[in-house]
Amino acid sequence: IVPARHLPGHGMPPSDHAAMLADVREGLQRTPKRLSSKYFYDAEGSALFEAICVQPEYYLTGAELAIMREHSAAIAAVLGPSVLLIEYGSGSGLKTQLLLAQLVEPAAYVPVEISQAALLESVARLGETFPQIEMLPLCADFTQRIIPPRSAKPPQRRVIYFPGSTLGNLEAHEALALLSKMRDEMGEHGAALIGIDLKKDSAIIEAAYNDAAGVTAAFTLNMLARFNRELGADFDLAQFNHRARYNCMAGRIETHIVSRCAQTVHIADRLFKFAADEAMLVEYSCKYSLDDFARLAARAGLRVKSIWMDAEQQFSLQYLVR
Taking the C-alpha atoms of residue 206 and residue 208, their distance in angstroms, rounded to an integer, is 5
Binding region for ligand AVI (CB under 6 A) out of 116-124, 162-170, 289-297, 300-308: 162-170
Which residues touch 260 (CB under 8 Å, ≥6 apart)?
A: 238, 239, 240, 241, 276, 277
Which C-beta is closer to ligand AVI: that of 14 or that of 164? 164
Segment interacting with ligand AVI, rule: CB under 6 A, options 146-154, 158-166, 171-179, 290-298: 158-166
- Residue 209 is a binding residue for ligand AVI (CB under 6 A): yes
Question: Minimum Å distance from CB 169 to ligand AVI?
Answer: 5
Among 91, 155, 168, 251, binds ligand AVI (CB under 6 A): 168
Residue from the set 36, 115, 180, 216 that interacts with ligand AVI by CB under 6 A? 216
Buried b (16+ CB within 10 A) or exposed e, 135-156: bbbbbebbbeebebeebeeebb
Q: Contact between 169 and ligand AVI (CB under 6 A)?
A: yes
Q: Kindly tell me which of 267 and 309 has the beta carbon lying closer to ligand AVI.
A: 309
Beta bridge partners of 110: 86
The residue type at 178: L
- Say how many residues touch ligand AVI, by CB under 6 A: 12
Residue 165 near ligand AVI by CB under 6 A:
yes
Write the DSSP string, 200-251.
--HHHHHHHTS-TT-HHHHHHHHHHHHHHHHH-----GGGEEEEEEEETTTT
Q: How many angstroms separate the CA atoms of 151 and 135, rounded?
A: 9
Closer residue to ligand AVI (CB): 122 or 285: 285
Question: Closest by alpha carbon to 87, among 47, 133, 35?
Answer: 133
Does the protein bind ligand AVI through residue 239 (CB under 6 A)? no
Contact letters for ligand AVI, residues 2-31 (x by CB under 6 A): ------------------------------
CB 189 within 8 A of CB 79: no
- The interface mask with ligand AVI, positions 60-99, x = CB under 6 A, is x---------------------------------------
Radius of gyration (Cα) for the chain, nearest Å?
20
Q: Does 285 bind ligand AVI (CB under 6 A)?
A: yes
Q: How far is the CB of 313 from ligand AVI (least distance, A)?
A: 18
Measured CA to CA, the distance from residue 48 to residue 168 in angstroms comes to 19
Q: Please answer whether residues 197 and 167 qualify as being in contact, where contact means their C-beta atoms are separated by less than 8 angstroms.
A: no
The site map against ligand AVI for 104-143 (x = CB under 6 A) is ----------------------------------------
Stretch that binds ligand AVI, among 78-86, 159-167, 177-185, 261-269 (CB under 6 A): 159-167
The distance of closest approach from Cβ of residue 122 to ligand AVI in the complex, given in angstroms and rounded to an integer, is 16
Listed in order, strand segments (DSSP E) in the chain are: 83-88, 108-113, 138-139, 157-162, 191-197, 240-247, 252-259, 263-267, 270-274, 279-286, 303-309, 315-321
The residue ranges that bind ligand AVI (CB under 6 A) are: 52, 60, 164-166, 168-169, 209, 216, 219, 283, 285
